Structure 1
Amino acid sequence: MLSQSKKVIIAKRIAEELEEGSIVNLGVGIPTKIPDYLDGKNVHLHSENGLIGIGPKPSKENLNMDLISASKNPITMEKGAAIFDSASSFAMIRGGHIDVAVLGILQVDKFGEISNWSIPGEPILGVGGAIDLIAGANKIYLASIHQSKYGEPKLIEKLTYPSSGVRRADKLFTEHAVFRFTEEGPELIEIISDISLEELFEITGTDFTVNLPERHRTQIN
């Protein structure tokens, strides 16, 4: 069904969503792929370990393991990038200076409450910066495969894992669709793959309303 990897599809779609000139924090996992698909768009990518101006993934010949993201992945720096200490980085986050945080998730409930740091019964490696980002970023975008490797939906009625904070996400991007979170629950606003609406309901763990552009309505009718 999908000619590209699911993670690449999600990263490309979020890259399209990001606005020129915005300051964007990239979380662990799928979000770290976004720099490769900005196609020259002027977006300032922020890492909580103390960098603004992340560039595309380096070539094997240009790896520098002293230059890494918060995910411990090697990165490059754009022209004009700035390096600073972690305290200053978190001051940016807590001060409301991050326009968008793009986060991976374990689960998200129907109203956009996120779980992305701990699985019950599994060792906890640490909360990281997710809780600060959820509280401090102006917008929260979620990047996630639609179902876990065990076939469980990521978008569900109610969280069964620990919450990352009461702040709600704005949008969820999967390899199949884009959802917007509202006070009434999730709203489907775009279908990315060739999945049918019926199939999408079947693999999603909660009901959602449909508010698709006319071109999508034509495709699914």
Structure 2
Amino acid sequence: MKSKFISAEQAAALIRDHDTVALMGGGGGLMEATTLFQAVEQRFLSTAQPRGLTLVHALGIGDKQDRGLNCFAHEGLVRKVVGGHWVWSPRMQQLAREEKIAAYILPAGVSSQLLREIGGGRPGLITHVGLGTVCDPRHGGGRMNASATEALVEHITLDGREYLRYKPYGVNVALVRASAADEDGNISFEHEAANLDATALALAARSSGGRVIVQVRERLPRGALKAREVRIPAAWVDAIVLDPGQRTSYDIPFDPSLSGELTGAARAAADAEAAAQPAEPFSERQAIARRAACELVEGAVVNYGVGVPDAVAKLVAQRGELDRVYQTIEHGTYGGQLLDGTLFGYARNASAMLDAPTQFDFYAAGGLDLALLGFGEFDALGNVNVSRLGGLTVGPGGFIDIAQNARKVVFCGTFAAKGVQLSTGDGQLRVLRQGTVQKLVPRVEQITFSGPQALQRGQQVLYLTERASFRLTPAGVELFELAPGVDLQRDVLACMGFTPRLAASLSVMPAAHFRAVDEGLGALSGR
């Protein structure tokens, strides 16, 4: 057979005007086909082609500067984006704000699963995920600006139950990232830090009559890969681009602990090194994490979101309690020590790596006992917004898939933003200056989590901040706990956009949460 290996420039030339292009990746460069992305950008800047592309992606891709989705953020190159998370590409967010593209969001799990359904030739994805949120056509259908006029989803009823049907579309090109390809074109993910939705992308393009273009680091001889090491068969692959400089992340050339390849003594040594890393300086972020850790129970299946929740994951690791819960993230990873910040989505020495659509299947079926997630703002009905903040398209990532399906949801975040000054570390919390951005609002800008829907589903829902803790009740949001040193009226009620119910007896958070040294207080430690 003719060799499938071509240059990045030749690969970029395979994309035609108005194609629908499926992208994959996560923040920090996770499984991102950077060389392919840059080749498409350079072709457009040099020739003004291709034009009018539609991009689809499940997770955030980029570095907030010039990589990832930013490569496509040029007026004329793209006409429509259906993205799970946009925050890593401020330039694409700006194009959406200026109505220069049609902007949509879908839950990350829905996006990945829909690609799998497209790959199987089925009539879209029928699911309960997204009901009552911004993705429900009764609340916008995922449209994020006036230019977004198409109906991507419809509300349906089957056997007396409500569902959403996310409509299928054709995929002309899938830009996939993997570790290695043999001479025949068989693809391996062996050295990757996740699987994400690579297989679903490739299958969707193949089934649509489109092209599957794969970027890899290694070119292997025929027969070098064992059959079980092949994640995308050669029959699905149209072109392969070799990038010997491909990195695990933007900043990490290669780390076998991130691809789950270490075993035995080498793995134990890496675990010990990671556990010995110094804790981040104490702040209200750690105080919230300590309070949230009290909600963990032995043997629970847990998901940690980005932001304050990743501080909870770090706290559990520092306390040596990683093996007492089943830790998961939506990228498909189980166990290990989660990285945070720009490397959220990576885990050192994970115990398992699944394809993201399968992980989201597990979530959608109710597999999560507990989800610890961040929030942008929440209101009196318990609705939470993380998808549109300050008029900018942010997107939910896996938030909707996770929050809607966990038995218990704990939202963690600071009480206010911008200009807040606090004093803590001695067992008390003092508010020296209030923030200018209110996060507990009369009505959220957009519903990414529906409080009323959660009550119908029978979920337990908490909202934890450094100043006060709230819970969702049939009568609305109830305040039930205060931080030591906080004045209820001055520091909490006067700074909220709604008046919460007050519990019959207000509790005070343990002073240990507000001391500079962690005292290990939490349910897992039995204290």
Could you say which TM-score interval applies, normalised by the shorter chain? Answer: 0.7 to 0.9
> 1:166-185 alignment to 2 at 5 Å?
166=450, 167-168=453-454, 170-185=461-476
Give the aligned partner of residue 382 of structure 2: 112
Is the aligned partner of 1:209 residue 2:209? no
- Counterpart selection for 2:296 from 11, 14, 18: 18
Tell me, what secondary structure is at the counterpart of 1:211? strand
- Counterpart selection for 1:127 from 396, 410, 425: 396
- Of the two, which has the highest radius of gyration? 2
2:379/2:443 contact within 8 Å kept: yes
- Counterpart selection for 1:197 from 475, 488, 491: 488
1:47/1:69 contact within 8 Å kept: no
- Paired with 1:207 and 1:54, the residues of 2 have a C-alpha distance of 41
TM-score, normalising length: structure 2: 0.35
AA partner of residue 296 (structure 2): L
2:385/2:447 contact within 8 Å kept: yes
Give the aligned partner of residue 32 of structure 1: 310
Aligned length: 200
Tell me, what secondary structure is at the counterpart of 1:156? coil
User: How much has 1:55 moved relative to structure 2?
Assistant: 2.5
After superposition, give the CA deviation of every residue in 1:47-100 in whole Å (9 maximum; x if it has no partner): 100111142659xxxxxx9xx543xxx53346xx22111111111111110111
AA partner of residue 494 (structure 2): E
- What percent of counterpart residues are identical? 27
2:304/2:328 contact within 8 Å kept: yes
- Counterpart selection for 2:411 from 105, 122, 142: 142
> 1:145-164 alignment to 2 at 5 Å?
145-149=414-418, 151-159=436-444, 161-164=445-448
Task: From the superposition, tell whether residues 209 and 121 of structure 1 become closer, same or farther in structure 2 (CA, over 3 Å).
Answer: closer
- Paired with 1:171 and 1:82, the residues of 2 have a C-alpha distance of 29
Give the aligned partner of residue 53 of structure 1: 335
- Paired with 2:395 and 2:348, the residues of 1 have a C-alpha distance of 26
TM-score, normalising length: structure 1: 0.80
Tell me, which stretches of 5 or more residues in structure 1 are unaligned? 59-64, 217-221
After superposition, give the CA deviation of every residue in 1:128-150 in whole Å (9 maximum; x if it has no partner): 11111122111111011001225
Tell me, what secondary structure is at the counterpart of 1:137? coil
> Relative contact order, CA 8 A, sep 6+: which one is greater?
1
1:23/1:46 contact within 8 Å kept: yes
2:482/2:507 contact within 8 Å kept: no
- Paired with 2:463 and 2:449, the residues of 1 have a C-alpha distance of 16
Calculate the aligned-residue CA RMSD, in Å: 2.6
User: How much has 1:180 moved relative to structure 2?
Assistant: 0.8
Task: From the superposition, tell whether residues 214 and 175 of structure 1 become closer, same or farther in structure 2 (CA, over 3 Å).
Answer: closer
- Paired with 2:303 and 2:410, the residues of 1 have a C-alpha distance of 10
Give the aligned partner of residue 62 of structure 1: none
Tell me, which stretches of 5 or more residues in structure 2 are unaligned? 1-280, 419-434, 455-459, 509-527
After superposition, give the CA deviation of every residue in 1:151-170 in whole Å (9 maximum; x if it has no partner): 232222221x2111434471
